[in-house]
């Protein structure tokens, strides 16, 4: 199965937005999808952290 292109993903995301969407909402949606794609790529490459390491990194924000 061929990979879905970025253009196809963007078009699908835009088509799924409500009719009364703002430019800001559309941009936010595309930015979110971009970050998800990046995270999935990093995970596929094995660039992940353990749950314990994530908790340790978050401690500075939770204090």
pLDDT digits (tens, 9 = 90+) for 7-21: 999 999 999 999 999
Q: pLDDT band at residue 60, thresholds of 50, 70 and 90?
A: confident
Which residue has 């314990």 as its token pair? 52
Mean residue pLDDT across the chain: 94
Diameter of the chain measured on Cα atoms? 47
Predicted confidence at residue 35, as pLDDT, reads 97
CA distances from 37 to 9, 18, 30, 40, 60 (A): 10, 22, 11, 5, 26
The structure tokens listed for 8 are 């196809």
Predicted confidence at residue 2, as pLDDT, reads 84
Flag whether pLDDT at 1 surpasses 90: no
CA distance 8 to 12: 6
CA 8 to chain centre: 16
Q: pLDDT band at residue 63, thresholds of 50, 70 and 90?
A: confident
């Amino acid at each position: 199965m061929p990979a879905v292109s970025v253009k196809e993903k963007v078009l699908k995301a835009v088509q799924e937005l409500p009719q009364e969407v703002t430019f800001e909402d559309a941009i936010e949606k595309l930015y979110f999808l971009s970050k998800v794609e990046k995270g999935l790529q990093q995970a596929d490459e094995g660039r992940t952290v353990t749950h314990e390491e994530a908790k340790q990194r978050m401690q500075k924000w939770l204090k």
